[in-house]
Structure 1
Amino acid sequence: MASGEGLTAMRDEEKALVALCCSVSMSAHRSPSSHFLLRTVSHPFPSAVFAFPASWSVDDWILAGEWGGPFGESEIDACLFPSLRSVGNDVAARVNRAFLRSFQRLLKDSRLQAEVHRALAEKKRIVFTGHSSGGSVSVLAAIWLLEQFFKSDNKDQVFPFCVTFGSPLVGDRVFSHALQRQDWSCCFLHFVSTVDVIPRSLLAPLSSFKQEFQAILHFLCPKSLCFSLNTIGEPLVIFFYSTVLRNALSISCHRACLSMGCTNPLLEVIPGFVKLSPYRPFGTYVFCSDNGLVSLKNPDAILQVLCYSFQLTSKEDLSEVAYRCLEEHLLYEPKIKKCLAMQDVVSMDGLEVIPLCLNDGISDEMQSIETMLEDLQLSVEARLCLRAAGEWENQRLRNQAKIDANYSKIQEALRSLSDYRATCEIRGLGYYDTFKLQKDKEDFDANVRRLELAGLWDEIVEMLRRYELPDNFEGRTDWVDLGTSYRCLVEPLDIANYYRHAKNEDTGPYMVKGRPRRYKYTQRWLEQAHRMPAWSSMESCFWAVVEELCIDSSSSSRPFEEMKDKVLELEKEASMWLSSGKLGKDVLLEESTFVKWWKTLPIQHRLGSCISSFMNGENMAGR
């Protein structure tokens, strides 16, 4: 869908796709298949549309107890979804466990994988869709396929697309963040009726009233013989609506305060006393009102609209609104058809210019935005929250600009250290050992560069930890590469400084207590970007392992046999890193700490060592 501020137009092919997805999604509920409905089309482009039916059993919506308490969330399956994690905080995304379980069963028990790969082989675009909880399953299916694309060498394949209708939320803040980092959020389009309660339902602790929620699901099922307020019971409908609304507003207020930069320490304490839903929106949301469509991409702004457009106004009757919030969940097909007949979509991504009230003389574009804001029944308070969400995103962009301004400064400092490394080799002692001795002015200057770079990278890592940079910053290859160069060139100097000042005697081994967060992060950054196994890029820590082995070897109480496994592991890695050039040849110089230590090992071991071929004749003569 076209993006931008103000009025945008959906192309005819986009309208056709959305209409098709909505129709197939609703048909999936009536299909005899219990897994998915597949529809192939040639217009507007060759596509295979996979529609997943919703489940109307409460156990397929919420799993409590061991699966995450009242909101039923758990860590994502890292084997199926390795990209869904935060690099900065080193935490995996959390997802609704019941929806994840449904998708895992789908992969195992159905022909989904076979049909998807057949469609790909036929050069069809894959579209996943679903209504209600079927939409949540389609989200996981789309991410699963995106993960397959990440591992594939076929760069010509068109990314899958996912369209949902009235879908409940699926994952937490990290889930949304990771999709933005991978640049996958653009693959998801969510249609939500303004007052539909189900897309907001997981903002409430459903496990605390599972029996009541099961009654709601029973009457939402399209196959139910009756649907009336009297049959469900007015108290139950009002209770459900009120519970969801109350929890949604609590989350909205908490998030808005954070976006506005409130420094009250209670904000950090509240989640410890009041359990707030972890679920957050992602992708593009299109809100369907009586007068048209409103699109949003900012996750914080989407959350605010989900909460505030759902409120009861002073003129409305509580029972009527509660009933309508359920009824709307079944009316997507006629509502989408009506909205698509309208020519324009109002984009509210320019959040900072959202009017707080209707003013005379505003532009036609702003008039259309104001009309939709009123249609969504967004109060002045809600509009302030939307502005705060926009300002928070702008602040993150300003933070990124500040960090980008330091890029060349970091490059210059790294070039200086690279030149210093070259002079160390000329002096015949090696980069690590020369810096550790700190005898010359050049060593002092290198230490100044090390400290300057530490300050710059600590600022970056802290911003990432607090999500103060745009989500896609972690996906920028220029910074991944710069971070790797920094880690490989500078961490050996940190290790040398650590053992030069005998910090290990007070703090413990560098790898256990002394390694700064900036190196852990840049290592995870590389491993995530290139889909490498965790801890597979440890060459920058080579000298820390050597130092600890030197300490163990000097202890008369530690025989070689007790150290042998660690020695063999280091030699294996050193052989690999020396062969690939990840370790410089200066580690093999005669006066190198590594060579001196290696010579103290038993001769029988050294003769059979996998790195003996790297040792020159002079070194080997010392056996």
Structure 2
Amino acid sequence: MAHLKLEGAINLKEDLIATACSAAIKAHKHPEKPFLLDKTRDSSIISFAGSSSPEAWFSASDSSFGETKIDTQLFPSVRSIGVDDYAVVNSAFLRRFQGILGKLKEVLRVNKSVVFTGHSAGGSIAILATIWLLEQQRNPDSNPYTNFTPTCITFGSPLVGNFIFYHALKREKWSTQFVHFVTRYDIVPRIHLAPLSSLQPQLQTILNCLNSRSLGSTVNGNVATEFFMTVMRNASAVVSNAACRLMGNTNLLLDTLQSFVKLSPYSPFGTYIFFTESEKAVVVTNPDAVLQILFYACQLSSESECDHIAQQSLKAHWGYESKMQQNLELLHAIRLDELAKLPLSLTGRNTAITEALNELGLSTRALLNLRAAGAYEEQKTRNKERMEVKKQNIEDHLNWLEVDYRAVCKVDGFGYYDVFKLQKDPIDFQANIKRLELAGIWDETVEMLKRYELPEEFEGDDEWIKLGTRFRRLVEPLDIANYYRHSKNDDTGPYLIKGRPKRYRFTQRWLEHNKKMSDPSEESTLWAKVEEIRIKTKTKMYAECSREIIELERKMKRWINEIEDDMLLKKSTFMEWWKTLPEHHRSQSCIKDDIERMVNDNNATNTM
């Protein structure tokens, strides 16, 4: 835990934060405009207004929480790569962003740093605008917009997407660009933890209040209280379920309940700054910890507080400007970086950290859950360290397959695919053992990735991407050879449809995402395509299969360097089949020259 000035805690200058807040509040005066543009000496500040329309907060046509699959064209990186699972996002926020994107592009064609900001629902649009611009900058050659990394600063913003937002943004190293300010009681960052159906009776009245600065009259006490209690009841279910997951609870009853009671999918991401009642700010980057604080900071200590806190939760939504008008240099910022070391009791202690947590009203249960969030994050790191130890074992096995096996197999016109498929010599048995040991290591990795038990950065790690690509290109052909050697296709179906393990799908997607490939990286699966087209041409005429044959040859042409000519050896499964194709096809084939080159190289080698 670190105790710093705010500027040092979040790496943003105080004057920029104050300027962003003023711009965000000013945007509320112009809800008819898609955004406001303010220019400072160093930056362009683009601010988005909130809205008092329920349709701008929830889209009832999509689901009970108003979520929908994210626009994969605008946000291709906001997904879990290996699992190939795209994030879900609030549909109403997404539609509003899509509607103003054209105008936004017009003002971004400048070589100047950009700060996106917004208060209330305007913060959600600022978030999507920032992610969209970061997506553009993943392709610097085709990016016509600013070359500066954008920053997003929100004030009392609602939650926008599910946990995959955090997962993807952390992997891409973008999450540090998002800073969210939240006052202790502000209800807005909690609203989307409740389903629309439970909020509808009071939602319009509450939104009218939240988007008005004249809060002196307040909302009818019963309306405010019922709304507050509805949100907090649903938030309680969400954080309790999350805490059970963090603590490794395996109670099957929880899974059963979730099948009947749908919980909010929304999750925090980025850096959160919680303001206490005094001049303190608690800085948290762990999304599980943020979720817990969102609930426990508003937890009632007695039933008599309910009406007062309900009204406070609405008034607090307009408390940001007054905070920013104070001298931010006097604000004490406490970073909660070592959550697992938090004390379980705040009584009898008098430190800046305990004072700040006390002012947030965190109970012993809250502290226990925060520690669990920290321990869960540390376990991810330990899991990666365990896999790092196995990295050398993976490399040793791959080196053996490449040097001691693959090179030796290139005799008498056969390649390592066909030699392995025949399984005639003891060395083939050794290769099979290496294959199975490697499969075990990578399957373990895949299972941890599916359960999100490795750090988010893992799938973006250049060393692991390179190692995974080498493993896939070298070992998957052996898996394919084993599959067709045992005729598993007869019972299960084609390898690519029914037999391909996730370890290859995951590592393939890593490379495609990392290299921004528009076409799939299919070089390791070419042997499976060969086997299937061979089977098909046994029962069908050439004319019926010609398109597939030509497509296969085109793919071989593209990946010829990665497959190292193994397919073109004269006695390979591919060449034995290819020679049976009609002469007119072979004479016009796109790989004809490659085959002739291979033949000439072999002849030259044999005459030496």
Q: What is the TM-score normalised by the length of structure 2?
A: 0.94
Partner of 2:534: 550
C-alpha offsets along residues 20-73 of structure 1, whole Å, 9 cap, x if unaligned?
Answer: 11111101111375111111112xxx11111111121111110022x2x11010
Aligned partners of 2:195 and 2:35: how far apart in 1? Answer: 29
Unaligned regions of 5+ residues in structure 2, if any? 601-608
Residue 263 (structure 2) pairs with residue 276 (structure 1): yes
Partner of 1:92: 86
Equivalent AA in structure 1 for residue 537 of structure 2: S
Of residues 544-553 and 145-154 in structure 1, the stretch that sits farther from structure 2 once superposed is: 145-154
C-alpha offsets along residues 69-96 of structure 1, whole Å, 9 cap, x if unaligned?
Answer: 1101011101110000111321110000
Equivalent AA in structure 2 for residue 411 of structure 1: E
SS at match of 1:326: helix
> Which of 217, 221, 229 is 2:211 aligned to?
221
Aligned partners of 1:332 and 1:251: how far apart in 2? Answer: 26
Partner of 2:483: 498
Partner of 2:578: 598
Q: 1:427: how far off? A: 4.9
SS at match of 2:463: helix
CA 156–618 in structure 1, closer or farther in 2 if over 3 Å, else same? closer
Please say if residues 429 and 591 of structure 1, whose CA atoms lie closer than 8 Å, have aligned partners that are also in contact.
yes
Residue 202 (structure 2) pairs with residue 212 (structure 1): yes
Aligned partners of 1:135 and 1:409: how far apart in 2? Answer: 47
CA 397–28 in structure 1, closer or farther in 2 if over 3 Å, else same? same
Partner of 1:459: 444
Q: 1:412: how far off? A: 1.0
Q: 1:208: how far off? A: 4.2
Aligned partners of 2:303 and 2:512: how far apart in 1? Answer: 56
Residue 390 (structure 2) pairs with residue 406 (structure 1): yes
CA 72–561 in structure 1, closer or farther in 2 if over 3 Å, else same? same
Aligned partners of 1:551 and 1:302: how far apart in 2? Answer: 56
Q: 1:489: how far off? A: 0.5
Partner of 1:52: 48
Q: 1:315: how far off? A: 6.9
CA 244–618 in structure 1, closer or farther in 2 if over 3 Å, else same? closer
Equivalent AA in structure 1 for residue 70 of structure 2: I
Aligned partners of 2:216 and 2:532: how far apart in 1? Answer: 71
Partner of 1:116: 108
> Which of 292, 297, 304 is 2:292 aligned to?
304
Residue 167 (structure 2) pairs with residue 177 (structure 1): yes
Partner of 2:77: 83
Equivalent AA in structure 2 for residue 220 of structure 1: L
> Which of 306, 331, 344 is 1:356 aligned to?
344
Aligned partners of 2:257 and 2:396: how far apart in 1? Answer: 45
Q: 1:576: how far off? A: 1.4
> Which of 554, 561, 565 is 2:547 aligned to?
565
Please say if residues 9 and 344 of structure 1, whose CA atoms lie closer than 8 Å, have aligned partners that are also in contact.
yes
Please say if residues 138 and 162 of structure 1, whose CA atoms lie closer than 8 Å, have aligned partners that are also in contact.
yes
Partner of 1:244: 231
Q: 4+ residue stretches of structure 1 with deviation over 6 A? A: 617-620
* 1:31-430 paired onto structure 2 within 5 Å: 31=30, 34-42=33-41, 46-65=42-61, 67=62, 69-108=63-102, 110=103, 112-118=104-110, 120=111, 124-153=112-141, 157-222=147-212, 227-229=216-218, 232-291=219-278, 292-314=280-302, 316-338=304-326, 340-358=328-346, 367-419=351-403, 420-430=405-415
Of residues 262-271 and 486-495 in structure 1, the stretch that sits farther from structure 2 once superposed is: 262-271
CA 88–339 in structure 1, closer or farther in 2 if over 3 Å, else same? farther
CA-atom RMSD, angstroms? 1.9
C-alpha offsets along residues 172-228 of structure 1, whole Å, 9 cap, x if unaligned?
Answer: 0112111111111000000001110011000001244335211211122236x6652
C-alpha offsets along residues 545-586 of structure 1, whole Å, 9 cap, x if unaligned?
Answer: 11111111222xx122221221111011111111xx122112
Aligned partners of 1:137 and 1:586: how far apart in 2? Answer: 52
SS at match of 1:142: helix
SS at match of 2:410: helix
Unaligned regions of 5+ residues in structure 1, if any? none
Of residues 321-330 and 205-214 in structure 1, the stretch that sits farther from structure 2 once superposed is: 205-214
SS at match of 1:117: coil
Aligned partners of 1:282 and 1:349: how far apart in 2? Answer: 15
> Which of 501, 510, 513 is 1:528 aligned to?
513
Please say if residues 220 and 227 of structure 1, whose CA atoms lie closer than 8 Å, have aligned partners that are also in contact.
no
Aligned partners of 2:109 and 2:549: how far apart in 1? Answer: 46
Equivalent AA in structure 2 for residue 592 of structure 1: S
Q: What is the TM-score normalised by the length of structure 1?
A: 0.92
CA 339–530 in structure 1, closer or farther in 2 if over 3 Å, else same? farther
Aligned partners of 2:215 and 2:288: how far apart in 1? Answer: 37
Q: 1:115: how far off? A: 1.2
Aligned partners of 1:146 and 1:105: how far apart in 2? Answer: 19
Aligned residues: 593
Of residues 436-445 and 297-306 in structure 1, the stretch that sits farther from structure 2 once superposed is: 436-445
Equivalent AA in structure 2 for residue 212 of structure 1: Q
Aligned partners of 1:212 and 1:339: how far apart in 2? Answer: 37
SS at match of 1:508: coil
Q: 1:301: how far off? A: 0.4
Residue 470 (structure 2) pairs with residue 488 (structure 1): no
Q: 1:605: how far off? A: 1.7
Please say if residues 219 and 227 of structure 1, whose CA atoms lie closer than 8 Å, have aligned partners that are also in contact.
no
Aligned partners of 2:509 and 2:19: how far apart in 1? Answer: 41
C-alpha offsets along residues 228-261 of structure 1, whole Å, 9 cap, x if unaligned?
Answer: 23xx322221111001000111010000011001
SS at match of 2:330: coil
Equivalent AA in structure 2 for residue 614 of structure 1: D
Equivalent AA in structure 1 for residue 398 of structure 2: L
Aligned partners of 2:58 and 2:216: how far apart in 1? Answer: 23
